[in-house]
Chains A and B, each alone.
Chain A
């Protein structure tokens, strides 16, 4: 039986995987796309389709995020507009590289290697950050007060004044946007993991403004990227629609869990999951090189399994906390 042009089993897999990704994104606030493109590559989709569909998924997810945050929105529209110009150029460049590599038969290998590096680096950083996070609370509080921004020392005119931050060189903003755009166009990721620290620590923008501007920026770049990839047949709606349906539900669960469970206790597993994603892509590449099909299955099991474990930990701890609170409530009213 086919629904949306794919078999029912695959549809259920995509919806289920979407729920897991949504829980992780809703809870940790990042990584919505980190596992989608690698999973599609591991499943044997052409690189162009994996990256393009990953970007379309990022677009859909960020639209929902933007709708949820619209009332809280502190957005620096000038920064968002400048970023959009450079991010769009970067996406176009990234897409051109992917299509060129595809015509040379190298896209799969190069993007797999890039993903191993990206997931490994970000995963290792999250693990490192989670181990030191409890010690850093005082430092974080100090950072929140007012930070001049690492890039504010670069006074290359013209300078642009930003909301709640010192002025930043236009060229620095455009360069950051270009790097994020290339990553989005090349790997199908939203780039929030790069944009947020760049805006907060690089430009000195307050966290609330960075969150609002980040989500608007990812929505725009996701939309532009989806359009550019869709032009060359790189967006498969039979992948994106069920993934999005699952992730929108999962994100609500993950967001609700943030009020019940302390992120720091689970963050280390999120980091390990990203490292697991890097291992999975590497395993799959080794399998391809040596003609070992079984390694494809192993790598898919690693990706889906680690997502199940970490999102399962979020849900399990939330339910446990919910029950604990209920017992406390009953005891205090007795």
Chain B
């Protein structure tokens, strides 16, 4: 899975930590954009408007 099985133990660990770091940054940016885009609409809808 993820094509990293062939790497050595330490290199695989570096890639895994890098993947988690990349995902975290991507989620921060992605959800940040999503919240700016649809956040006010969702809050209004939940508020009963």
Q: Nearest residue in A to B15 (C-beta to C-beta)?
A: A230
A330 to B46, CA, bound (A): 15
What residues of A have a CB within 8 angstroms of the CB of B19 in the complex? 237, 241
The contact string, 1 if C-beta is below 8 Å from chain A, for chain B 11-42, is 01110110111011101100100010000000
Residue among B13, B16, B35, B47 making CB contact with A325, cutoff 8 Å: B47
| Of A59-67, A122-130, A178-186, A274-282, the one with at least 4 CB within 8 A of chain B | A59-67
The contact string, 1 if C-beta is below 8 Å from chain B, for chain A 232-254, is 11010110110011001100100
A322 to B13, CA, bound (A): 45
What residues of A have a CB within 8 angstroms of the CB of B46 in the complex? 319, 322-323
Contact B23 A245 (CB under 8 A): yes
Contact A231 B10 (CB under 8 A): yes
Contact B1 A248 (CB under 8 A): no
The contact string, 1 if C-beta is below 8 Å from chain B, for chain A 279-319, is 00000000000000000000000000000000000000001
What residues of B have a CB within 8 angstroms of the CB of A171 in the complex? none
Residue among A4, A60, A230, A252 making CB contact with B31, cutoff 8 Å: A252
A240 to B13, CA, bound (A): 14
A131 an interface residue at 8 Å Cβ cutoff?
no
> In angstroms, how far is the closest chain B Cβ from the Cβ of A318?
8
A249-B31, A322-B46, A322-B47 are contacts. A244–B24 as well, Cβ < 8 Å?
A: yes
Residue among A223, A244, A245, A323 making CB contact with B17, cutoff 8 Å: A223
Contact B16 A248 (CB under 8 A): no
A5 an interface residue at 8 Å Cβ cutoff?
yes
Contact A237 B16 (CB under 8 A): yes
> In angstroms, how far is the closest chain A Cβ from the Cβ of B1?
4
Contact B28 A64 (CB under 8 A): yes
Residue among B10, B21, B28, B49 making CB contact with A68, cutoff 8 Å: B28
A60-B23, A326-B48 are contacts. A248–B28 as well, Cβ < 8 Å?
A: yes
A61 to B31, CA, bound (A): 13
Residue among A5, A59, A228 making CB contact with B1, cutoff 8 Å: A5
Contact A227 B20 (CB under 8 A): no
Contact B13 A231 (CB under 8 A): yes
> In angstroms, how far is the closest chain A Cβ from the Cβ of B42?
10
A41 an interface residue at 8 Å Cβ cutoff?
no
What residues of B have a CB within 8 angstroms of the CB of A248 in the complex? 24, 27-28, 31
A213 an interface residue at 8 Å Cβ cutoff?
no
Beyond A63-B25, A226-B16, 20 extra complex contacts between A and B, CB < 8 Å = A5-B1, A56-B20, A61-B24, A63-B21, A63-B24, A64-B28, A67-B28, A226-B13, A226-B17, A226-B20, A228-B13, A232-B9, A235-B16, A244-B20, A244-B27, A249-B31, A252-B31, A322-B43, A322-B48, A323-B46
Could you show 6 A-B contacts with beta carbons less than 8 Å apart? Answer: A56-B20, A60-B20, A63-B21, A245-B23, A323-B46, A326-B47
Residues of A within 8 A of B (CB): 4-5, 56, 59-61, 63-64, 67-68, 223, 226-228, 230-233, 235, 237-238, 240-241, 244-245, 248-249, 252, 319, 322-323, 325-326
Closest 9 pairs (CB-CB, A-B): A230-B13, A63-B24, A248-B27, A5-B1, A60-B24, A326-B47, A322-B47, A230-B16, A231-B13
